[in-house]
Structure 1
Amino acid sequence: MNGLWQQHPLRDIAARVEAGQRLTEAEALRLFQTRDVHLLSALASGVRERLNGRRASYIVNRYINYSNYCILSCQFCAFARKKRNGDGFELTVEEIVAKAREALGLGITELHIVGGLHPSLPYRYYLDMLRALKALDARLHLKCFTAIEVLHLATLSKKPMEKVLEELKEAGLDSLTGGGAEIFRPSVREAIARGKEPAEDYLHVHRTWHRMGGRSTCTMLYGHVETLEDRVDHLRQLRALQDETGGFCGFIPLPYQPENNAIPVSHAPSGFDTLRTMAVSRLYLDNIPHLTAYWVGLGLKLAQLALSYGADDLHGTIVEEHIFRMAGAKTPQLQTELAMVKAIREAGLVPVQRDTFYQPLKVWDGPAPRVIAPASGAAAILQNNLATA
C-alpha cells in the first residue's frame, strides 16, 4: 500500500482498492462520509488509469428533445409541460430530420433523443422518427429513449415491453439512454418523482435490452432529499445488474438542479459533493468501465476537475440541451470539440474523440489528431468528414 496512507483511518479501504478488490456497501458509505478529498482523488485516479490509461474522452453528438409534454408531474422536473401550458413544444418527424441533417454537417456521430411521456403522439410516430433518421444516414448512431419512455410506448401500443424494444431496434434504435434512474429507493422516488416507474421496472427494461444484445448507459440523480445510504443502495443495484448482463458501457452521475422545481433543498450539490460522488462511484462500480463528468450539469471547469476524481469522459458537444437548462443550469447550449480537447489536456490527460460505446475514433496525442477506425458507423462518418473537409 502507498505509504502515504499507512496511518489513515481509511487505510484498509485504500489497501483493498490498490489490490483491485471489490468494495462493500459499508466501505462505499465510509468513503462517502470522509472529508479527505485528496485520498478520494488519489484512489479514484488510480482506478481510472488502471481501467482507461491516461486518456479521457468526449463525443461529437447532438441532443434532440422531440417534446416536453408529459403525463407525469415529477416534483424535481422543470422540463415537463402540460398541453394547457403556453411554453410546451413538440417536433414533427420532418423537423427532427432537419435538425439531424444540420448536425451531420457539423460532424456528429450520435443523436441523443429523449422527451416527455407525450399524452397523444401515436406509437407509429416513434417508429417513423427512427426510420427517417436512419434513411438520412444509416451510419448515424441513434441513442434514444429512457426506460420510462419505453414503458410508456408499451402502454401506448398495448404490446409487451420486449416486443416494443424489438420493434424500436428494427426501426433503427442503436442504444438506450440511462435517464430516469433518479434514486432507486422507493421512499425517495415517492418524494421526488411520484408516479414514475419503480426501480425494478427501470432495471428490467435495461436488463431486457442487454439480453437482446443492446447496450446502454446508467445514471443517478444526487443532491436533493436522498441520504448517502440511498446513494450507495442505488449504486449497489446498478452494479448487480452489470454483474448479470455486462450491458452498461458508462455511468453518469447527475447533480440535482434546485432552481425552477418543486423540491426545496437546503444545500444544492456543491463542488465537494460532486467530486466525492465521482470518486466513490469510480471506486465502487468496478464493473462499469467508464465514468462521465456531465459538463452540462457541472460546468466545464468542475467537469475538468472531476477528471482527477475518477472520471474519464466529459460527454459530448450536445449542440442543444433543454432539460438541465430549464431546471436552471447556466451552462452553454454546446461545447466545441476544441474546448473539450483543451480541458482534457489541461487536466494532464490525452483527449480522445469516442463513439457511443466509448471506442476511440480520434486521439490527440501529438500536434495533430490521429484517426483510429474501429468497426463502427461513427468511424465511417468521421472518415467521410475528413475526406470532404
Structure 2
Amino acid sequence: MDAGLKRELEDKVLAGERLSREDGLALYESDDLAWLGGLAHHVRTRKNGDVVHFNVNRHLNMTNVCTASCAYCSFQRKPGEKDAYTMRIEEAVRLAKAMENENLTELHIVNGLHPTLPWRYYPRSLSELKKALPNVSLKAFTATEIHHFETISGLSASEILDELIEAGLESLTGGGAEIFDWEVRQHIVDHRTHWEDWSRIHRLAHAKGLKTPCTMLYGHIEEPRHRVDHVLRLRELQDETGGFQVFIPLRYQHDFVDMQDGKVRNRLQA
C-alpha cells in the first residue's frame, strides 16, 4: 500500500467516516498489523471507551446427526454412523448442570439438522435447561437451525422464535453465516439457508428484542472481496436493526482429523 493511500485511510478512520467497499479491499492489502490494530483500537475506544465484557461460555451439542454435508464441517454425522449421537433431554440437563461449578454464565447450544427429531424436542430442552440453570443465559440455535425448524414444524420463524423465547431463549448463535457471497457459498454449504433466510431470521430475532452475534468463516477458498462483501451485508443489517452484539471472525481449521475414526471430514483447501 502506498503512503498516500495509507494516510488517506487513516485520516478517514480517525475522522469517524464510514469506510467503503474499496476502502475495505485496500485495508486487506496492508500487511502492517500494528497500524491496522491501532486503527481498530481507535474505533473500539471511540465506540465503547474502556468497557469490556467477559462471560464463561460452554458449548452443549445435543445431537451431531445432520442431513447436510457442508464441506467445511467436521462435526456432522449421518444416522447410523458409529459416533453419531442424540441426547435425551435429561442427559443434556445433567451435562449442563455438571458445568455449573465452573462459574458458568452462558450455554452455547448448536446441533446438527436432525432428520427425525420432533420440533417439540427443542423448546422442551430449553425449558428444562432453564429450570435447572435459571441464572445461566441460553444462547441457542443458528439461523440454519431455525430455518430447519420451520420445515419440520410447519410453523413460521416468528412463531418458532416466540415459543423458544417463552422456553428461555435469550439469544440466537451467529453460526450458519460462513461466507454469504454465492460464488463461494455454493461450494462450501450443503443446506438451503443462505443470506436471504439468515438475515430474515436474525432480523426477526432483533425485532423480538433478542441481541445476537454474527460471524464470518474465513481462511478457506474465499478472497478478500468476499470477506468485504460479507461484512458490508452485516453492517447494513446492523444499520437497520441495531441487534448484533458482537462480530466473531472464525478461522477455518484445515484437515481436522477425527480422533474416533481417523477421517478427515472437512474437504476445503485454501
Normalising by structure 1, report the TM-score.
0.65
Q: Do residues 17 (structure 1) and 13 (structure 2) align?
A: yes
Match of 1:237 among 218, 221, 233: 233
Q: Secondary structure at the match of 2:54?
A: strand
Q: Secondary structure at the match of 2:60?
A: strand
Alpha-carbon contact 1:69-1:118 (below 8 Å) kept? yes
Show the counterpart of 2:168: 172
Q: Secondary structure at the match of 1:28?
A: helix
User: What does 1:332-371 correspond to in 2, within 5 Å?
Assistant: none
Shift of 1:158: 0.8
Show the counterpart of 1:98: 94
Q: Secondary structure at the match of 2:71?
A: coil
Higher-RCO chain (CA-CA 8 Å, sequence separation at least 6)? 1
Alpha-carbon contact 1:62-1:110 (below 8 Å) kept? yes
Alpha-carbon contact 1:220-1:254 (below 8 Å) kept? yes
User: Closer, same or farther in 2 for the Cα pair 1:99/1:229, shift >3 Å?
Assistant: same
Alpha-carbon contact 1:134-1:140 (below 8 Å) kept? yes
What is the percentage of aligned positions where both structures have the same residue?
Answer: 44
CA distance in 2, matches of 1:229, 1:102: 44
User: What does 1:117-196 correspond to in 2, within 5 Å?
Assistant: 117-196=113-192
Q: Secondary structure at the match of 1:85?
A: coil
Question: What is the letter of the counterpart of residue 73 of structure 1?
Answer: S
Q: Secondary structure at the match of 1:89?
A: coil
CA distance in 2, matches of 1:60, 1:219: 19
Show the counterpart of 1:65: 61
Q: Do residues 211 (structure 1) and 207 (structure 2) align?
A: yes
CA distance in 2, matches of 1:54, 1:160: 41
Alpha-carbon contact 2:140-2:172 (below 8 Å) kept? yes
Q: Deviations over 1:263-305 (max 9, x none)?
A: 3424xxxxxxxxxxxxxxxxxxxxxxxxxxxxxxxxxxxxxxx
Alpha-carbon contact 2:72-2:268 (below 8 Å) kept? no
Give the number of aligned pairs: 262
CA distance in 2, matches of 1:109, 1:136: 13
CA distance in 1, matches of 2:226, 2:3: 29
Q: Deviations over 1:279-333 (max 9, x none)?
A: xxxxxxxxxxxxxxxxxxxxxxxxxxxxxxxxxxxxxxxxxxxxxxxxxxxxxxx
Shift of 1:105: 2.2
CA distance in 2, matches of 1:76, 1:227: 16
Alpha-carbon contact 2:9-2:23 (below 8 Å) kept? yes
Alpha-carbon contact 1:29-1:228 (below 8 Å) kept? yes
Is there any run of 5+ residues in structure 1 with no aligned partner, and where? 1-5, 267-389
Question: What is the letter of the counterpart of residue 54 of structure 2?
Answer: Y
Normalising by structure 2, report the TM-score.
0.92
Alpha-carbon contact 1:63-1:113 (below 8 Å) kept? yes
Shift of 1:25: 0.9
User: Runs ≥4 in structure 1, deviation > 6 angstroms?
Assistant: none
Alpha-carbon contact 1:74-1:196 (below 8 Å) kept? no
Q: Secondary structure at the match of 2:99?
A: helix
Match of 2:103 among 107, 121, 138: 107
Q: Do residues 41 (structure 1) and 37 (structure 2) align?
A: yes
Match of 1:30 among 5, 11, 26: 26
Show the counterpart of 2:258: none
Shift of 1:64: 0.4
CA distance in 2, matches of 1:79, 1:137: 26
Is there any run of 5+ residues in structure 2 with no aligned partner, and where? 256-263
Shift of 1:56: 4.5
Question: What is the letter of the counterpart of residue 139 of structure 2?
Answer: K
Alpha-carbon contact 2:71-2:268 (below 8 Å) kept? no
User: Closer, same or farther in 2 for the Cα pair 1:73/1:7, shift >3 Å?
Assistant: closer
Shift of 1:48: 2.0
Show the counterpart of 1:361: none
Match of 1:222 among 218, 221, 224: 218
Alpha-carbon contact 2:70-2:188 (below 8 Å) kept? yes
CA distance in 2, matches of 1:210, 1:119: 28
Question: What is the letter of the counterpart of residue 41 of structure 2?
Answer: S
Alpha-carbon contact 1:68-1:81 (below 8 Å) kept? yes
CA distance in 1, matches of 2:54, 2:232: 27
Alpha-carbon contact 2:70-2:190 (below 8 Å) kept? yes
Q: Do residues 88 (structure 1) and 92 (structure 2) align?
A: no
Show the counterpart of 1:265: 269
Show the counterpart of 2:75: 79
Alpha-carbon contact 2:188-2:268 (below 8 Å) kept? no
Alpha-carbon contact 1:72-1:196 (below 8 Å) kept? no
User: Closer, same or farther in 2 for the Cα pair 1:264/1:166, shift >3 Å?
Assistant: closer
CA distance in 1, matches of 2:59, 2:267: 26
CA distance in 2, matches of 1:12, 1:60: 40
